[in-house]
Amino acid sequence: MKHNRLIIETDIPAKMRDGVTLYADIYRPADEGTYPVLLTRLPYSKSYGLHFIRPNILAEQGYIVIVQDVRGRYASEGEFVPYIAEVDDGYDTIEWAASLPYSNGDVGMFGLSYYGYTQVLAALSGNTHLKAIAPIMAQNSMTDVFNDHDGALELGMWETWNLESMLPNMLTRKYDTREELEKAANTLMKNLDKLDELYKFKPYKNWPAIGQKEMPYFSELLNYEPTHNHWQKIDAKSNYDKINVPGLHVAGWYDCFLDKTIANFQNGHHRGLGDKLIIGPWTHANFGQMIGDRDFGMAATKWGEANMHARHLEWFNHWLKQEPLPETARVNYFVMGLNDWKTADTWPPQNTDFTPLYFKTGEVIADFTPPKQASEANFSYDPENPVPSNGGGTLHKELHADGPRDQQHLELRDDILCYTTAPLEGDLEVTGPVQVKLWAKTDAPNTDFTAKLVDVFPDGTAFNLADGIIRASKQHGNQVQNQINEYTIDLWATSNLFKKGHQIRIEISSSNFPRFDPNPNTGDSFINSTESQIAHQTIYHSPDYPSHILLPISR
């Protein structure tokens, strides 16, 4: 039944357990009766418009839709520190929403990115009124998407998100006079225009684009180790057993939270909660067919923005209204190159053969046979001249920031090794998690190694598919300098059809800036230091040190 008349109420207060009041807008049917609640809690303003899903469309279908500013943002009281209050505030808001006179007591949650993770954290709270969630492109921890991406700092994401998305509202809360606010706002706009230069500033703790008065947590959190107790309360991956509601998870092959969204699905799926997973060729919050430099065709939009409302309504109608859920597979994923969708009962798909592609030297320097002879390759990594980020699962402001981009111009650099197969004699589908096993040595006290999986077209165009990084000390502690170590580089996952005549390429280097903070190679980091040194890297490929990429080949 569609409800043609809605009641929209704005700035409705909800008091949290510590006395802080949060404010929400409520959209609900004008017809009498009680209805289930769909709640979203976001830091980007309840009135800014949910670009991927509209509250009025959900309300027309018989839901009370509540859009709430989280603590310390826009209309809501309190101090904002990313995620730290979202477990308790999530519980209290669900309790409040369930008790509204027009509510039937059942609550679902929806939202993307930050307001995808507010759902996961609310699920951790154990509120029994929460029946289902739909976390779109959401994470499962704070550290893994901030200061511990396999040991590296997600520099571009941290600086861009705080400057572009968080700071504007914080300025209005910190400055009392119009003159002060206008001055601060003008500075903000100038800094956004020169963000490419600001990424290079170090030490990061003194980043001039954000002042201590404006955003106290910015520098403070930089120096919290991943084991700091600050993170434990807002870490879902170590508390998955507390999540007991089903989730509809949507991810993108080029999304900055891809592996976290997959992990969220796997938790619920393995525990039989009823979770579902959709993975498209998308970047963060972009569900179209034009992604980066590639056109993935109209099929890319099948599960995208045009159908997002339908997918949400099917999901919530089942869990909140006991309607049948359409018969669809647990996993729907888009195969790039094929440019169409496939289904699976689990992730990764069951027909996956994890096959090593070995690195070698010679005319063809990557193939599926183990090396019989010992060889090595060398390059030097200069932290003052890092490899520029060029596409991928990024979330920062820069030219060619995300998605698939042609890598040819980067591959001319001396600090990138390219391991490439011969042209393929037939189509080869790679679908699933991807890892590089790298035997390497550095002469530095600490360093990084990066890897990138690339699809090389017959004309030479080289599109990135997946990439990753490992900070040497993350896996080997103090046993790094002048040691031959095996490094595991997690490239997360992909699904791509390498067509006949294409080539598979793996790039190996030591930096990807500004996506990740460059390792200064000194044993310190640029969070607190400006000192650096050049590292001389050796990559081994031999029977004893068989460096390779482990490809999930579909059979």
Phi, psi of 421 (to 5 degrees): -80, 170
Q: Which listed residue (69, 106, 150, 255) is catalytic?
A: 255
Record the tokens describing residue 140, joined without a space: 């499962």
User: CA-CA distance, 252 to 199, in Å (whole number)?
Assistant: 26
How far is the CA of 299 from the CAs of 65, 90, 230, in angstroms?
Answer: 30, 36, 43
Q: Which stretches within 477-520 are classed as H helix?
A: none
Q: DSSP character for 395? A: -
- According to DSSP, the residues that pair with 290 across neighbouring strands are 295
Name the residue type at position 310. A
* Residue of 420, 413, 372, 370 lying closest to 547 (CA atoms): 370
How does 250-286 read in b/e, with b if 16+ C-beta sit within 10 Å? bbbbbbbbbbbbbbbbbbbbeeeebbbbbbbbbbbeb
User: CA-CA distance, 89 to 82, in Å (whole number)?
Assistant: 13
Record the tokens describing residue 287, joined without a space: 């569900």
User: CA-CA distance, 522 to 412, in Å (whole number)?
Assistant: 27
Q: Which listed residue (69, 89, 106, 113) is catalytic?
A: 113
Q: 3-state DSSP call for residue 506?
A: strand
Cβ(363)–Cβ(524) below 8 Å: no
In the block, which residue shows the tokens 């289930």?
36
Cβ(153)–Cβ(527) below 8 Å: yes
Cβ(532)–Cβ(383) below 8 Å: yes
> Is 255 one of the annotated active-site residues of the chain?
yes
Q: DSSP character for 447? A: -
Cβ(110)–Cβ(53) below 8 Å: yes
* Residue-wise DSSP of 217-248: HHHHHHTS-TTSTTTGGG-STT-GGG--S-BE
> Is 284 one of the annotated active-site residues of the chain?
yes
- According to DSSP, the residues that pair with 511 across neighbouring strands are none
CB neighbours of residue 317 within 10 Å: 19
How far is the CA of 109 from the CAs of 74, 130, 332, 416, in angstroms?
Answer: 20, 8, 21, 44
The two beta strands, 352-359 and 366-367, are antiparallel
User: CA-CA distance, 280 to 306, in Å (whole number)?
Assistant: 13
Cβ(453)–Cβ(494) below 8 Å: yes
Q: Which listed residue (284, 318, 396, 548) is catalytic?
A: 284
Distance, first Cα to last Cα, the chain: 45
Phi, psi of 188 (to 5 degrees): -60, -45
In the block, which residue shows the tokens 């679908």?
431
Interior angle at CA 134, CA 133 and CA 135, nearest 5: 105
Active-site annotation, residues: 113, 255, 284
